[in-house]
Structure 1
């Protein structure tokens, strides 16, 4: 049997799980880099997924604490789609993916890890990113650490966000 060591996972495994909603807590802490918050909009923020499916896996999250998409205002939904546009553009510019998976997991039975607070996933994809490690070993290899991804994406997102605001 071969072993793949992932020492960063032990922190999650052994840590006490958050009692309060992390999507409400993290933006209020004003420690964006530490909390992997890439960009703050008026109604939503963009954050890297701490346990990504792929490098660059980010989420667009409304500040409003709800798990019901029908309760979000047009302003929140509109900004969410604008942030999606600049997220895709920034990921294309910095990471050169071949495609994307974009979507919501609404409800625990639909796969939502944080079911009480709605969030949209943006997952860059590359040809061959699901390879033998995943198929045979049920192991996903993430080749770049989160801080390196953060340092690439944040300036690109900020630039695109400011350009979009100027055009509006």
Structure 2
């Protein structure tokens, strides 16, 4: 089962490594991991999208919550949340395909950020479904390289 954990942590060396090792210990596969400073430079938010059985992920969550560097941890999968991911994709193109590709980019509201003789590079920010949709549409054109940021997420509302 896929779950999304969001942890506020002290912004210190080694925190991310401890979290990743704990996932491995309980056989929870990290699908994506994003970390960055919050509005307070002494605090980072780490968003882990993990896959595994519920018991294993519950154990990971309990352990992470017990670490002295973890201020707060939330299982966003059990709450209403908003998520985003950034993807950059370099896709092959020729003159005949340029119009079709531009239409796809327009539908997904993807931005062209680079262009070569044989490739075009676009960026897209959106939820995982939107990112996956763009990738699926571009596969027939030949994806040359791609980089995904991993999911970032926050609870909706006033919490």
Would you tell me which structure has more helix in proportion to its own residues? 1
TM-score, reference length from structure 2:
0.27
Would you tell me which structure has more strand in proportion to its own residues? 2
Greater relative contact order (Cα < 8 A, sep 6+): 2
Q: Rg bigger for which structure? A: 2
